[in-house]
Structure 1
């Protein structure tokens, strides 16, 4: 018994070392691609094309970002993307939380039917043509609400809410019902305040999806004032690629120190920077235990 006790610290130390090394490797593999995009975007495009860079910019330059921000369409697109992400996330999380709370109750009439219908949407989805025809009938084309309404319910996240709500102690709701509280009062004054971790997690996923989505503006929006940042950046990259191809075809040397690749990385950094800044502030809720001290029996 004494040998086992003496042996455990050494074994724990080895396990900690192995775990730390694996975590560092995973961190490097995860972070380095983003870091590479960052240093490439701050490097002279033609210089980076001649010789690969790995750790820091070899020839520092801001020309790539000048080209990105010279596109005047990027500023209204940024505001539209921010508005879409905020409104879409708030409404989606609110509606999915209410749906998850209702579906977490076994006494809900037709619960099995609703669950089956929801699960079907995880395996099958409408194509572009069907979605276009549906949105046209609903008068959502060229409308801000084409970003919001079709994506307000995503059953995968509703399942997360259902699982989280089922883990909450039933005594919380029973005591509130004894005091005369209704379902909406229980949901918004008791359940929602205790569900910060799942709300933060779903909000992050939904918000990032809204921020990065280029599909909806590309197929369902023609009004330039409703274009989002990903769509504008994709259009700018396509235009830059076309210009570079044309220069090669007519053998005209480019006077710019940038390349299509360097501008592309600068656009990528611009598009992911806001989400990257917000993420650490939301991450703290993931493992935060909101139920500590909530129930005393």
Structure 2
């Protein structure tokens, strides 16, 4: 019986490991293909087939991306927006979720319904623009941060997580003379790292990828974000390639030194860099935070 059990366990482990290896390949290959495409020349990029390694490593796509004088400033603006925007979202989320997690909070259900209405209904783009304009935030970096400072979905997730924390911790602190702000900063936040890290990751990804507010509210190129600069460069290159194709009888794009696909691949690698570096440090909290925060209502 022991021999049979060992054989079964061994076969299970082999199948399990094989399955995870195949799944990892499916996940990693598109990422690696993008890297290869960003360092390939136009001839290799235009050819069909699986390219696991470029014929020669060429950095023309990256040189083209960084040839724009605004991309460095835009990159710094995006990093600053992501950092300050994430801090603001996490702060407001904690300050709103902690009181709502108290069942003895007066009018708790009224506040919850108020938040839910704001979650499902909004004024729309025109009222938002008029509000930002009346606040004097047009062409101001704060217009990229303040409109998204309060996210109801994040508040609900964090509130539900706070409700799972043992009430004995808070009661003992109250007996010792601690106030609610001390309890929040010294007890609740330290034991809520999973949900805080999860919300911080969501907020960081949102601010890093979001470009529409910058397109609408920002007019000065010195205040724009990376996504807008990249979008303008890709649009300009696409128009240039189309003009070359028309002039060259359809072969202009294939014969150019740089293809739009090369630049798009380089854009992806440049854009996802910081998020890819941050994610491994947050991933260990991510699953626990979202699962516990989504269970208790």
TM-score normalized with structure 1 length: 0.88
CA distance in 1, matches of 2:107, 2:15: 50
For 2:264, the equivalent position in structure 1 comes to 264
1:140 aligns with 2:137: yes
For 1:82, the equivalent position in structure 2 comes to 79
CA distance in 1, matches of 2:219, 2:198: 32
CA distance in 1, matches of 2:271, 2:45: 21
Specify whether residues 32 and 191 from structure 1 end up closer, same or farther in structure 2 by C-alpha distance, changes over 3 A only: same
Q: Aligned to 1:285, what secondary structure does the other structure show?
A: helix
1:28 aligns with 2:22: no
For 2:293, the equivalent position in structure 1 comes to none
1:38-187 map, 5 Å:
38-187=35-184
Q: Aligned to 2:56, what secondary structure does the other structure show?
A: coil
For 2:248, the equivalent position in structure 1 comes to 251
Q: Deviations over 1:162-192 (max 9, x none)?
A: 1211111111100110111111110011111
Unaligned runs of 5+ in 2: 290-297
250-259 or 77-86, which deviates more:
250-259
For residue 153 of structure 1, report the CA deviation from its aligned partner.
Answer: 1.1
For residue 75 of structure 1, report the CA deviation from its aligned partner.
Answer: 0.2
Q: Deviations over 1:7-41 (max 9, x none)?
A: 66555545544443443343333322222111100
Q: Aligned to 1:225, what secondary structure does the other structure show?
A: helix
For 2:217, the equivalent position in structure 1 comes to 220
CA distance in 2, matches of 1:272, 1:129: 31
Specify whether residues 273 and 17 from structure 1 end up closer, same or farther in structure 2 by C-alpha distance, changes over 3 A only: same
For residue 139 of structure 1, report the CA deviation from its aligned partner.
Answer: 2.3
For residue 128 of structure 1, report the CA deviation from its aligned partner.
Answer: 2.2
CA distance in 2, matches of 1:205, 1:267: 21
- Asked if structure 2 preserves the Cα contact closer than 8 Å seen for 1:196 and 1:285, the reply is yes
**Alignment size in residue pairs:** 286
1:237 aligns with 2:234: yes
- Asked if structure 1 preserves the Cα contact closer than 8 Å seen for 2:45 and 2:261, the reply is no
For residue 134 of structure 1, report the CA deviation from its aligned partner.
Answer: 2.3
TM-score normalized with structure 2 length: 0.88
For residue 127 of structure 1, report the CA deviation from its aligned partner.
Answer: 2.7
Unaligned runs of 5+ in 1: 290-297
Specify whether residues 249 and 84 from structure 1 end up closer, same or farther in structure 2 by C-alpha distance, changes over 3 A only: same
For 2:295, the equivalent position in structure 1 comes to none
39-48 or 7-16, which deviates more:
7-16
165-174 or 280-289, which deviates more:
280-289
For 1:293, the equivalent position in structure 2 comes to none
